[in-house]
Amino acid sequence: MKSIKLSSIVVAAIMSVSALSAVSAFAQVTVGGAPMYASKDIIDNAVNSKDHTTLVAAVKAAGLVDTLKGPGPFTVFAPTNAAFAALPAGTVDTLLKTENKPALTKVLTYHVVAGRMDAAMLRKAVMDGGGKAALKTVSGGTLTAMAAGNGITLMDESGGTAKVTIADVIQSNGVIHVVDKVLLPK
């Protein structure tokens, strides 16, 4: 009788773990009030984030939509609307002008690293680098990743810093890490 009860308890425990795993598999990261789906690409997820409308407009103006819908993989450090708003007055409007497309493209691709680097990989690179890791961006510049408590901070070539506020937003063609500042190349 005891072995039947024990077997029933083990089966119930396994079923509970399985149910919990199934729920976890469907848990979604939310960015800007919208769920982010690992089955969608970077653009298809970003357009739904209320916190990234400026970034999406900039990506469209720079002609980078097809690139970021491509197979990648890409690691994108995605500045929020508030990050763009913190730039000096008129900066975003100036960058969005057609004649400034090369400068806009350089700023945006400075936020992209080829390959998929989740937070664990970033932390490992920082540890392996003695507290810093140089990340080569698609624009050809370098971002420096550093540990900041349990998170990651990025430093641009001008000494500006951005904190990763939401890490590991997994995409079908890469990963997004939301950042609180716009990073600027030299």
Tell me: the pLDDT tens digits for 85-143?
999 999 999 999 999 999 999 999 999 999 999 999 999 999 999 999 999 999 999 99
- 45 in any annotated domain: yes
- 94 in any annotated domain: yes
Identify the pLDDT of residue 41: 86
The CATH number of the domain where 63 resides is what? Answer: 2.30.180.10
Closest among 181, 185, 183, 166 to 46, alpha carbons compared: 166
Sign of CA dihedral 165, 166, 167, 173: negative
12, 78, 132, 144, 170 from 167: Cα distances, Å: 34, 10, 18, 16, 9
Tell me: the pLDDT tens digits for 150-176?
889 999 999 999 999 999 999 899 999
Position of tokens 């937070």?
A: 119
Identify the pLDDT of residue 42: 87
Overall pTM surpassing 0.85 (yes/no): no
- 133 in any annotated domain: yes
Strand bridging mode 174-179 / 29-31: unpaired
- 186 in any annotated domain: no
Our count of domains for the chain comes to 1
- 184 in any annotated domain: no
Residue 170 structural domain: 2-179
CA–CA dist 97, 108 (Å, integer): 14
Average pLDDT over residues 22-50: 73
Cβ burial, residue 175 (10 Å; 0-12/13-18/19+): buried
Which is more confident, 149 or 179?
Answer: 179
Half-sphere exposure of 63 toward its Cβ, with a 13 Å CA cutoff? 7
- 40 in any annotated domain: yes
Closest among 46, 76, 29, 49 to 174, alpha carbons compared: 76
Identify the pLDDT of residue 12: 41
